Amino acid sequence: MAVNLSIKNVPDGLAERLRARAARNHRSVQGELMAILESALAGRDRLDPKTVLEEVRKMRLETHDEATLIIRGDRDKR
């Protein structure tokens, strides 16, 4: 049986980012929320070292400084 969930008091900025993400993915906000939940609960957000290395190599970084900036930027988002 399906369950209805409700999220209250969502800040305007967060709601806008969700709407924009849904639009980018050609989904409704409801569909985007479902995709986010499925992804988070499936554990697919965790990358293994081999996948990370492949992604870094695709970027063709020239210096260690570039890699450091990307990593710090990603950490700051959390």
pTM over 0.75: no
pLDDT digit string, tens, across residues 2-24? 899 999 999 999 999 999 999 99
Residue for token pair 């985007």: 32
What does the CA dihedral 19, 22, 24, 25 come to, rounded to 10 degrees? 180
Give the pLDDT of residue 24: 95
Question: Is the pLDDT reported for residue 78 higher than 80?
Answer: no
In angstroms, the CA 52 to CA 1 distance is 38
Average pLDDT value for the chain: 86
